[in-house]
Structure 1
Amino acid sequence: MSLKYPIYVLVFILLTSCKQKQNKSSAEPAVYTYGAKNDSAVFYFNKGWELILDYGQWTLSDKAFRKAVSFDSTFVIGKALVGKSTTNLPERIEILNDLYPNKNKVSEDDQLILEVTRLTIELFNARDQKIKLEKDFIPYFMLAAEKNYRTFIHRHPNESYIKAEYIEVLNAVYGPKIALDSLHNLTTTKQKKIPFFISYSATLESDLGNFEKALSIADDFNAQINDPNIPQPYVLYGSIYLKMDSLPLATSNIDKALQLDPNHIFAQRFKNQINNKLKILNGND
């Protein structure tokens, strides 16, 4: 009888250990902090990505990134995203200058993101200052973005918005077919429901000339958003109609998007493309 007690204890320990392992494996992955030391900073940093990529709310996104930094003044990646989102050239120059001495103060994984963001800000500053960059800058930039984002998302597959940036880079480098295949293959079941990945799949389908499918996905996206005050559905419809040369529909959608957020960079570009096409049609080229 005296031998049974240790056996029962052993069985109990083994069962408890297995249960703990199961609970641990089924638990939600830890939130990646990007070097922020404050939960509120992380929250508003992720909110900034959500606002710009999912909903096309560029103005609110900039405010969210700034709020993230207000909660943690040492948040280097947060400051870099403020530099990427701001339209204020002097502020962007100052932020870029601040990034150089701080680049070695972040983790190895954060440096992957910081390098690409730094190059993006450098590109924006050169454009606004009308400075000609070295001829190999863009190839180097695209190579670094592809390499760094790929490394990061394989280490952190649940970081949806860096994965979104990676797929956009793939589209720029290799075209919509590879980008669309990558979107389907790299996103988790949960990520496939994120608004950006739905809307971007419609964008890529339209780039491939699959307009009927693109519009069907856009309808699903619009139904999911279900808010007439969100710019992104209008931008998506407008971009698709622009590729279809349905200029009145493209114009009405892009104008609505810009009415909701005048700072939407892609809507501004689409508006310029529409105007250029209209000039050609009207013989004003």
Structure 2
Amino acid sequence: MNIKYLSCLLFFIILVSCQQKQEKLHTQQDIYRYGTKNDSTIFYFNKGWEHILDYGQWTLSEKAFRKAVEFDSTFIVGKALVGKNTTNLNERIQILNDLNNSQIKVSEDDQLILEVTRITLELFNARGQNVKLDEDFISNFLATAEKNYRTFIHKHPNESYIKAEYIEVLNAIHGPKIALDSLHILTTPKQKKIPFFISYVATLESDLGNFKKALSIADDFNDQINNPNIPQPYVLYGSIYLKMDSLSLATSNLDKALQLDPNHIFAQRFKNQINTKLKIIDGID
């Protein structure tokens, strides 16, 4: 039997087995609190995830994570997310130092999230300071993220946004086909209706070259959002059109997204990719 086929088969056997365990746990799980007892803290923490992943509102996301920490100064997971979202390099460096020197005790499950976020901050800080990282830094980071997020979501299957992060990591490591199949297997019926998962299906379909299907899903996503002041539909359309080399349509959508939220990192990256393509085209001409 082909080794690659066997490894994929084993991967999905594990996913299905975990999904069965997830269904058993589903009714037993309440809202996970990430180490805080403050209701306002957990409310704004979840709002921060909602803003950034569902709606592409990076600025509002940062404000929500900061608000969460204001209600509970010992909320170390929330502070880590402030560090991940801030555009201030000096603040991010200080937050990483605070996390590394913190004496606050966190649970084993919270530590899974913190470990990944710490490495993320190391990566962001290195880029911001033009520090060269070890060649295996990214691969080790992704391996840790995959292991930690997988462990977490199988213990806490209702935590949709950590599950979203996990699917993104699977895409980075294993590619869009496995990420898409995993998304369908691991998400509950309720989670399948969450904006992020709908839009990410469109993203993965476009990565696979299924542009007609991706645009159809993007239309459904846009209809669900039904708000011209939300950036994410424009970012989704822009990313799909970029992959289709429809640069004019991609640009108009991404420009609209950045008008609504200039801090949308992915919209910025997509615009840079467009500019690079246009320079190449101009060079050929």
Q: Once the two structures are superposed, what CA deviation does each residue of 1:44-84 show, in whole Å capped at 9, x if it has no partner?
A: 00000000000000000000000000000000000000000
* SS of 1:74 mapped into structure 2: coil
Partner of 1:88: 88
Following the alignment from structure 1 to structure 2, what is the Cα–Cα distance between the partners of residues 239 and 47?
25
Residue 27 to residue 184, structure 1, CA distance change in 2 (3 Å):
closer
Residue 274 to residue 101, structure 1, CA distance change in 2 (3 Å):
same
Does the alignment pair 1:270 with 2:270?
yes
Following the alignment from structure 1 to structure 2, what is the Cα–Cα distance between the partners of residues 70 and 111?
21
In the TM superposition, what are the counterparts of 1:24-39 in structure 2 within 5 Å?
29-39=29-39
In the TM superposition, what are the counterparts of 1:155-194 in structure 2 within 5 Å?
155-194=155-194
TM-score (norm 1): 0.89
Q: Once the two structures are superposed, what CA deviation does each residue of 1:127-158 show, in whole Å capped at 9, x if it has no partner?
A: 00000112221111011000000000000000
Following the alignment from structure 1 to structure 2, what is the Cα–Cα distance between the partners of residues 28 and 116?
26
Where does the alignment leave 5 or more consecutive residues of structure 2 unmatched? 1-24
Following the alignment from structure 2 to structure 1, what is the Cα–Cα distance between the partners of residues 79 and 265?
20
Question: What value does the CA root-mean-square deviation take over the aligned residues?
Answer: 1.5
Larger radius of gyration: 1
Contact 1:103 1:114 in 2 (8 A): no
Q: Once the two structures are superposed, what CA deviation does each residue of 1:16-47 show, in whole Å capped at 9, x if it has no partner?
A: xxxxxxxxx99683110001120000000000
Residue 28 to residue 193, structure 1, CA distance change in 2 (3 Å):
farther
Which residue identity is paired with 1:164?
Answer: A
In the TM superposition, what are the counterparts of 1:129-168 in structure 2 within 5 Å?
129-168=129-168
Following the alignment from structure 2 to structure 1, what is the Cα–Cα distance between the partners of residues 275 and 244?
15
* SS of 1:135 mapped into structure 2: coil
Partner of 1:247: 247
TM-score (norm 2): 0.89
Partner of 1:102: 102
Following the alignment from structure 1 to structure 2, what is the Cα–Cα distance between the partners of residues 173 and 103?
33
Which residue identity is paired with 1:154?
Answer: H
What is the Cα deviation at residue 224 of structure 1?
A: 0.3
Contact 2:26 2:158 in 1 (8 A): no
Contact 2:116 2:144 in 1 (8 A): yes
Following the alignment from structure 1 to structure 2, what is the Cα–Cα distance between the partners of residues 278 and 133?
30
In the TM superposition, what are the counterparts of 1:227-246 in structure 2 within 5 Å?
227-246=227-246
Residue 88 to residue 26, structure 1, CA distance change in 2 (3 Å):
closer
Contact 1:51 1:61 in 2 (8 A): yes
Which residue identity is paired with 2:41?
Answer: A
* SS of 1:245 mapped into structure 2: coil
Contact 2:180 2:201 in 1 (8 A): yes
Contact 1:48 1:61 in 2 (8 A): yes
Following the alignment from structure 1 to structure 2, what is the Cα–Cα distance between the partners of residues 26 and 243?
37
Q: Which has the higher contact order (CA 8 A, sep 6+)?
A: 2
What stretches of structure 1 move > 6 A for 4+ residues in a row? 25-28
Partner of 1:19: none
In the TM superposition, what are the counterparts of 1:113-124 in structure 2 within 5 Å?
113-124=113-124
Following the alignment from structure 1 to structure 2, what is the Cα–Cα distance between the partners of residues 172 and 26?
27
Which residue identity is paired with 1:94?
Answer: Q
Partner of 1:12: none
* SS of 1:134 mapped into structure 2: coil
Does the alignment pair 1:111 with 2:108?
no
Contact 1:37 1:75 in 2 (8 A): no
Where does the alignment leave 5 or more consecutive residues of structure 1 unmatched? 1-24
Partner of 1:226: 226
What is the Cα deviation at residue 98 of structure 1?
A: 0.7
Does the alignment pair 1:75 with 2:75?
yes
* SS of 1:106 mapped into structure 2: coil
What is the Cα deviation at residue 101 of structure 1?
A: 2.5
Partner of 1:201: 201
Percentage identity across aligned positions? 80
Contact 1:84 1:117 in 2 (8 A): yes
Partner of 2:17: none
Q: Once the two structures are superposed, what CA deviation does each residue of 1:193-248 show, in whole Å capped at 9, x if it has no partner?
A: 00000000000000000000000000000000000000000000000000000011
